[in-house]
Structure 1
Amino acid sequence: MDWQNVYKVYTPFMLTKYKHWEVVMIDLVLCEIKVYDSKVSLIPDDIVKEELAPLSITLPNLLNTIDFYEEGVYANNCSRDWWCPWPIERVDVPQQSNEGDCGMFVLKYIELFSAELPLATCTSHNMPFFRLKLAAEITRGDAYFP
């Protein structure tokens, strides 16, 4: 994979203390971190930002160390000011209505982001269908696991 063609990285992130999964999007162009949380009422914003603060500091340092940013490749000034912590922001997304679906929401968010589809179908009402669909894909060997 040519990292110079990668603009966003989506990854699951576990808030261990809360036993809760979220999606973290690392925007390599805008030098920012977005959090997609299916249960925002569970954890206050300041706690989420505190948990992700090490990433917001370490990531620009790491990218600078490996000379990821070359002149003119990315637009944001933060890419050259490697000591600048990247901002962390929560994004409004469909919310789960129970305590146990955060992992499935994370999988679905990432799947929809990857396909550049809206998150509108990602609802608690649709989670039983998505779980069955995933189980069937795994059983048939159709599930995509890179």
Structure 2
Amino acid sequence: MLVRQMEPITQTLAKVLYDMRFYEKSEVEAVKRKGIDMSTFNPFTICRISDVPQQSDGTSCGIMTVKFIEYLGLGIPFNTIDPAKFGYYRLKLAIEALRGEAYV
């Protein structure tokens, strides 16, 4: 149900990015060669991953997003993110940013 509900967002985002000339010319041409109109092209897929930590407050969305991106890039399972350590994750990211070592 969630994937079905999110579909209009994926189409809208694809259209906005196309209108902003986000895509490389080669990407646009590859899509057009397939006979797909770029204005309706939907390059985004949605999948819902179960068994991952969930935000239980109104302030952890940013650090959770950073950790999910980090873990995704490193191939680490999401279920190893520890919500009890969000304070530590924030402090670590702030220190790394001040030192110029953060990937932000």
Given the two structures, how large is their TM-score scaled by the length of structure 1? 0.48
SS at match of 1:89: coil
Any idea what the Cα deviations from partners look like across 1:42-62, whole Å, max 9, x if unmatched?
Answer: xx942x443332123455796
Find the aligned partners of 2:36 and 2:98 in 1 and give their Cα distance. Answer: 45
Q: Is residue 100 from structure 1 mapped to residue 59 from structure 2 by the alignment?
A: yes
Runs of 4+ in 1 over 3 A off after TM superposition: 48-52, 56-63
Residue 134 of structure 1: how far off its partner (Å): 0.8
Q: CA deviation at 1:111?
A: 1.2
Residue matched to 2:89 = 130
For 1:142, the aligned partner's letter is E
Partners of 2:55 and 2:95 in 1: CA distance: 23
Identity %: 26
User: Which residue is equivalent to 2:48?
Assistant: 91
Counterpart of 1:56 in structure 2 is 14
Cα displacement (A) at 1:104: 0.8
* SS of residue in 2 equivalent to 1:132: helix
**Structure with the higher helix share, 1 or 2:** 2
- State the superposition RMSD in angstroms: 3.3
Aligned length: 95
Match of 1:112 in 2: 71
Could you tell me how far apart the structure 2 residues matched to 1:141 and 1:58 are?
A: 32
C-alpha separation between the residues in 2 aligned to 1:138 and 1:120? 25
1:35-89 Cα shifts (integer Å, max 9, x gaps): xxxxxxxxx942x4433321234557965x8132777xxxxx9982433542642
TM-aligned CA deviation for residue 131 of structure 1: 0.8
| Structure richer in strand, relative to its length | 1
Pair 1:137–1:79, CA change in 2 (3 A): farther
Supply the distance in 2 between the matched residues of 1:134 and 1:104 (Cα, whole angstroms). Answer: 9
Over alpha carbons, which structure has the higher Rg?
2
5+ residue gaps in structure 2?
none
**In structure 2, how many angstroms separate the alpha carbons of the residues matched to 1:113 and 1:94?**
14
Which TM-score applies when normalising by structure 2? 0.63
